Structure 1
Amino acid sequence: MNLFIFGATGDLVRRKVVPALLSLNHPNLNIIALGRREFTDSMYQALVCEDDECRKKFEPKYYKVDFGDSLVCEDCDKYLSKNETNLFYSALPPGQIEDVLKYVGLLKKGGFKVKLLIEKPFGTDLKHAKHLVSVIDQYGLQNDLFISDHYLFKDGVRKVRPRSFSKFKMVSLEDVGLEKRVGYFDRIGTLKDMIQSHFLNTIFRILNDKAEEFSDFKVDHYVRGQYLGYAKELGKKTETETYVSLGIKTKNKYLEFISGKRFDSKLGYIEIDGKRTDFGASKNDYKNVFSGFINDLRGDFATIDESILAWEIIEKIEMNKKPVVFYPIGMSSIQSIQNGL
């Protein structure tokens, strides 16, 4: 069984994906890594492996590929099989996913069995997401696509199942900053990075009729914050938010979402009608993602319809957008939840 990884030289693949694939310990899984950089197999292995165990077990084949209008990897063709399903995973930004969809779609039209796993978010905005749906329909990939949202594979989140409730609260505060995601993050901000996918996908898991529940929602409050020093990290002033506190009144429920970076401690939990469930350790998130993908277990993956609904919700929230307020690095996580910024 072969797994083709697009965007294989990125930080996500090194930090999360490679360790997850190693922990699966799949006996017949071959990795074909595709990236823009000029690497030999051994150079790529050195990039993504940080310990001897990885270097012993992880033996990928690496190929340089230009991700453009004509995504082609002729050297990779020898790894394609018509006898078993060909697996593809994309760690590329959402703006580049169309090329991958077309590449995999052409393979399907050529008689190959395919499955494709892509990272959230699905699209860069509502218009782009709808365009991607048209591409998926064009190539008949509706049943071959998996949308990864690793939050849905956290142990604490997986325990949350559909139920009746009145109040829902979700918190994810981090003590780290942007690390190697500064350029990408500044284009989207916390609302799209966290609320659009992780938080909304989680609430979708426990709503029986999510479209109806959000049909006429109201924004109760929407606070955008930015930690002091963010502009210096980025190299320019910006209105991108690194913190969001959001309250929403839906048809029958009240939802509260809080997410931010550079606080004094990491804190993550879900609270339903006053009962709190911590996210738990995140070591198995991506292991669970790839196990579900390889074994065709779709239950915890986000759907295309959910992704479109999430973008519709985000567009309405952004109509209430206000200037960012600034908060100090190391601000108390508990204080920010209790008193805001």
Structure 2
Amino acid sequence: MITETNQACDLVIFGTKGDLARRKLLPALYKLEKSQKIHPDTRIIGAGRADWNTEDYINVVKKAIKKFLNEKFDENIWKKLSSRLNFFNIDVSKDIYFLELKKILHEKKNIIIYYCAVPPNTFNAIFSGLGKVNLNYFPSRIIIEKPLGISLETSKKINNQISKYFLESQIFRIDHYLGKESILNLLALRFSNSFFFHSWNNKIIDHIQITVSEEVGIENRWNYFDQMGQTRDMIQNHLLQILTIVSMDQPKNITPEGIRDEKLKILRSLKKIHLNEINIKTARGQYASGVINGRKVPSYVEENGANKNSKTETFVSIKVDIDNHRWCGVPFYLRTGKRLAYKYSEIVVVFKKMSNNLFQEFNKNLPPNKLIIRLEPNESIKIEFLKKVPGLSKEYKLINDRMECNYFNINNTKNFVDAYERLLFESMRGIQSLFVCRDEVEEAWKWIDPIINSWKKTNTLQLYKSGTWGPKNSDEIIMRDGRFWETFN
């Protein structure tokens, strides 16, 4: 494992002109500079095809940070960050450019980190280009973004390509949800509190819901999204990663290997969904036109560059069963979609009702206790419980109440870090705990692929109006079990 925490790095960002770099990576680097987490001798090298010099690049970076930074821009911090910036014009299809890059990187003996903020069809040119000029030597690191393929077969192809040139200990597969404060807090919540630790099982929990809801549509990404769909784009990585952290057993230790081993056990325990179950346990939808925040929005097939006959899903919900001792009989309901009523992400743990409630004589249809973990917006933990109605009545009337722990209210918000800020910092430290290993990616595809193949044999796509909570068959999945989706509040 690479664990140096105090060495200078050369961070090479391939695709530095792109949306990911401008929206996420550059503002994250600014914040790391602000918190003094970057080694004084670390360099940031933007690599892309552009007729720019370093001064041009500095101006582009400043403009991007000012636009996408969610706090006040500080010229003193910018002065420090801008002194690290360099630009390298590169055509990744030509070896000569990698030889020139090698000269720049060998000016210093820094640990090199390559961030591939590029489409997957560019990955192999970068991997092989670095390998041919021996820029893949240990302990250099390489960060790759999703999507890692569109199937198990294509994912293996990408992993085989990168494995020709880099060791697994050098490869950092990023899933930004794993860098969220609330996801990390799940480990502390589950494994450091006895009242959660001892109740996290099928004796106490009725079911668990995981929702990632988006207000936006595909945002001019037709060519990318229509090939992927919401299942490949969100379920295969983000939601299954959340599910593994929610459901895994306690690791032997808090190391990358310890955590990954337990997550893998969950992925390998997911029950397959067969063709005869596909319309019972899954729902697919595609957004029609509607209104979001008072603004009319077009349907999916009316987006720029759209194929009017597309059957790609923009919404999916799935009932997941885990075949192990802890979770036998406890369903996990996953749902995610675009152009829904609100943007939010949360985990809802619904506990079983008491079989013999002392107060049931005076109360009918009491709600269950719930633990609600809000991932965004306003990360928080809420516990819903029953209490007595105040007053002099001889009857013990109960009402539902809520205790809330809001991270932004009880913690110093200066200590809060963005997901990309955290993941970039961890990559500089060489710690892989928050990154996804090859086995995790491929086990997720093994479970997802049969579902996608079954959909091709059934006509299960339903339209839903933009600004709603998705198609009706999504509600039917959970209502069939006598349950209902928790609503945003």
Q: TM-score, normalised by structure 2?
A: 0.63
Query: Is the partner of 1:178 in helix, strand or coil?
Result: coil
Query: Is the partner of 1:279 in helix, strand or coil?
Result: strand
Query: Is the partner of 1:9 in helix, strand or coil?
Result: coil
CA contact (8 A) 1:175 1:264 kept: yes
* 1:276 aligned residue: 372
* 1:101 aligned residue: 127
Alpha carbons of structure 1 residues 300 and 240: separation in structure 2 relative to 1, 3 Å: same
- Partner Cα separation in structure 1 for residue 150 and residue 374 of structure 2: 30
Alpha carbons of structure 1 residues 12 and 212: separation in structure 2 relative to 1, 3 Å: closer
Query: Is the partner of 1:88 in helix, strand or coil?
Result: strand
Aligned alpha-carbon RMSD (Å): 2.8
Q: CA deviation at 1:259?
A: 0.7
Tell whether 2:223 aligns with 1:223: no
Residues 72-151 of structure 1 aligned to structure 2 (within 5 Å): 72-81=97-106, 83-108=109-134, 111=137, 113-151=139-177
Matched AA of 1:295: R
CA contact (8 A) 2:102 2:133 kept: no
- Partner Cα separation in structure 2 for residue 110 and residue 85 of structure 1: 11
Alpha carbons of structure 1 residues 46 and 225: separation in structure 2 relative to 1, 3 Å: farther
Residues 157-196 of structure 1 aligned to structure 2 (within 5 Å): 157-161=183-187, 164-166=200-202, 167-196=207-236
Alpha carbons of structure 1 residues 261 and 110: separation in structure 2 relative to 1, 3 Å: closer
- Partner Cα separation in structure 2 for residue 309 and residue 42 of structure 1: 45
Alpha carbons of structure 1 residues 310 and 110: separation in structure 2 relative to 1, 3 Å: closer
Once the two structures are overlaid, the 10-residue window that deviates more, 123-132 or 296-305, is: 123-132
Q: CA deviation at 1:239?
A: 1.4
* 1:233 aligned residue: 303
Matched AA of 2:24: K
Identity %: 27
Q: CA deviation at 1:246?
A: 1.3
Tell whether 2:92 aligns with 1:67: yes
Tell whether 2:327 aligns with 1:291: no
Once the two structures are overlaid, the 10-residue window that deviates more, 133-142 or 26-35, is: 133-142
Q: Whose Rg is larger?
A: 2
Q: TM-score, normalised by structure 1?
A: 0.88
Q: CA deviation at 1:71?
A: 8.2
Matched AA of 1:275: L
Alpha carbons of structure 1 residues 135 and 183: separation in structure 2 relative to 1, 3 Å: closer
| Match 1:307 to one of 441, 449, 467 | 441
CA contact (8 A) 1:8 1:34 kept: yes
Query: Is the partner of 2:466 in helix, strand or coil?
Result: coil
Alpha carbons of structure 1 residues 70 and 311: separation in structure 2 relative to 1, 3 Å: farther
Matched AA of 1:16: K
CA contact (8 A) 2:287 2:465 kept: yes
Structure 1, unpaired ranges of 5+: none
Alpha carbons of structure 1 residues 41 and 223: separation in structure 2 relative to 1, 3 Å: same
Matched AA of 1:265: Y
Once the two structures are overlaid, the 10-residue window that deviates more, 215-224 or 19-28, is: 215-224
CA contact (8 A) 1:71 1:100 kept: no
Tell whether 2:339 aligns with 1:262: yes
| Match 2:23 to one of 15, 29, 35 | 15
